[in-house]
């Protein structure tokens, strides 16, 4: 019996490779955070921000869509890796060049899907839905802030300056959903398991 030549579609296999990419690579970490862990946590927080907006502030987000956007927001990094923030945002030219590289990574990812699925995934990586993208960005920064809080609570002074920078950034969002999260939900991240129970 002969073999049938089939095209191999590697999109999902590449997505699963997020677990091999460590974040915060320039810093000493007490707890290693992978890209896949971060993506899941970001999706949870983005979904929460959308629900908070809808329930408490009369917004009209699609929480499921926001969660999916967050889940996939860093997938291009399977090709680019997690470029440290000081490098990525060093200057405007560096940021523009990184955007070009990231767009090329997205195109490579799209080639890893059957043609019939590409448009659906292309919409996940597009910038069309500004409101949802804003929530993902806010959730992403909240995740960074929580990481810094956890590292500092674990007596890792390496994250002290990053914690201060993240705190400043999340407070600058002037976003009702983020402000609510900071006031009512963030304090639990400094609790012990017994205190949470």
pLDDT in tens, the chain (197 residues): 455 567 889 999 999 999 999 999 889 999 999 999 999 999 999 999 999 999 999 999 999 999 999 999 999 999 988 777 777 777 888 888 888 999 999 999 999 999 999 999 999 998 788 999 999 999 999 999 999 999 999 999 999 999 999 999 999 998 999 999 999 999 999 999 999 98
Q: How far apart are CA 129 and CA 103, in angstroms?
A: 17
Is there a contact between 78 and 17 (Cβ–Cβ < 8 Å)?
Answer: yes
Q: How far apart are CA 183 and CA 197, in angstroms?
A: 20
Q: How far apart are CA 87 and CA 101, in angstroms?
A: 14
Q: What is the pLDDT of residue 1?
A: 47
Tell me the CATH number of domain 11-187, given options 1.10.3210.10, 3.40.50.10240, 3.40.50.2000, 1.10.1740.10.
Answer: 1.10.3210.10
* pTM for the structure as a whole: 0.91
State whether residue 9 is helix, strand or coil.
coil
Is there a contact between 55 and 24 (Cβ–Cβ < 8 Å)?
Answer: no
| Dihedral sign, Cα of residue 148, residue 150, residue 156, residue 157 | positive
**In the chain, domain spans:** 11-187
Which one-letter DSSP state was computed for residue 113?
S
């Amino acid at each position: 019996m002969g073999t049938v030549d089939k095209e191999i579609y590697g999109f999902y296999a590449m997505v699963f490779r997020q677990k091999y990419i460590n974040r915060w690579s320039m810093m000493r970490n007490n707890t290693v955070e992978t890209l896949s862990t971060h993506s899941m946590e970001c999706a949870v927080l983005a979904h929460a921000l959308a629900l908070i907006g809808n329930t408490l502030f009369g917004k009209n987000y699609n929480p499921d869509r926001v969660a999916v956007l967050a889940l996939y927001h860093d997938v291009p990094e399977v090709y680019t890796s997690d470029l440290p923030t000081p490098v990525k945002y060093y200057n405007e030219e560096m940021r523009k060049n990184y955007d070009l590289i990231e767009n090329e990574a997205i195109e490579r990812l799209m080639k890893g899907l059957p043609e019939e699925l590409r448009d659906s995934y292309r919409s996940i990586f597009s910038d069309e839905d500004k409101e949802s993208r804003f929530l993902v960005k806010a959730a992403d920064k909240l995740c960074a802030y929580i990481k810094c809080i956890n590292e500092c609570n674990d007596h890792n002074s390496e994250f002290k300056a990053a914690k201060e920078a993240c705190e400043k950034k999340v407070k600058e969002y002037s976003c009702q959903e983020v402000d609510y999260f900071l006031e009512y939900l963030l304090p639990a991240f400094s609790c012990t398991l017994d205190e949470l129970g």
